[in-house]
Amino acid sequence: MALDKATVAHIATLARIRLSEEELEPLANELSHILTWVDQLNEVDTSGVAPMASAAAASLPMRIDAVTDGGCREAILGNAPRASRGFFTVPKVVE
């Protein structure tokens, strides 16, 4: 599978990673190389085979629905690049 520059620009937007125009061509080549290599999986007949998401037990454990943690707002905000009055702050979203 070969990716063109427009596709790379699109997935970079989905992934929220800014790429410059000069970066698109080399990345398109690198990613195409990797995707062509993984195409070998098409040799494998997987009809009727269930997908495996994890090696852990298929069902998740249940626990009592009780508060077990929390009350540590300052500790959490302590790592924020910008915080104000108990909130994370971001550029203005609503005009």
Partner 1 sequence: MSDPSLLALNLAEARDGLARKAFSARELAAAYNDAVAEAKPLNAYITPTPERALEMADAADQRLARGAALPLDGIPVAVKDLFCTKDILTTAGSHILDGFHPPYESTVTDKLWRAGAIMLGKANLDEFAMGSSSATSWYRPVENPWRRPGDNRPLVPGGSSGGSAAAVAARAALAAIGTDTGGSIRQPASFCGIVGLKPTYGRCSRWGVIAFASSLDHPGPMGRTVLDVAIMLGAMAGHDVKDSTSAPVPVPDFTAALSGDIRRLRIGIPNEYRVDGMPGEIEALWQQGVEWLRAAGAEPVEISLPMTKYALATYYIIAPAEASSNLARYDGVRFGLRVEGNSLDEMYELTRAAGFGAEVRRRVLIGTYVLSAGYYDAYYLKAQRVRTLIARDFAEAFELVDCILTPTAPSAAFIVGENTDDPIAMYLNDVFTVPANLAGVPAISVPVGLSADGLPLGLQITGRAFDEETVLRVAQILENAASFRHLPGFIAGGRG
| Residues at the site binding partner 1, with contacts judged by CB under 8 A | 3, 7-8, 11-19, 27, 30-31, 33-35, 37-38, 40-44, 46, 49-57, 60-61, 63, 72, 75-76, 78-82, 88, 90-91, 93
What sign for the dihedral angle of Cα 33, 37, 38, 43?
A: positive
Spatial separation of the C-alpha atoms in residues 7 and 28, rounded to whole Å: 8
Spatial separation of the C-alpha atoms in residues 37 and 29, rounded to whole Å: 12
Q: Minimum distance between the CB of residue 58 and partner 1, rounded to whole angstroms?
A: 11
Q: Minimum distance between the CB of residue 13 and partner 1, rounded to whole angstroms?
A: 8
23, 54 contact by CB (below 8 A): no
Spatial separation of the C-alpha atoms in residues 28 and 35, rounded to whole Å: 10
Q: Minimum distance between the CB of residue 3 and partner 1, rounded to whole angstroms?
A: 7
Q: Minimum distance between the CB of residue 46 and partner 1, rounded to whole angstroms?
A: 4
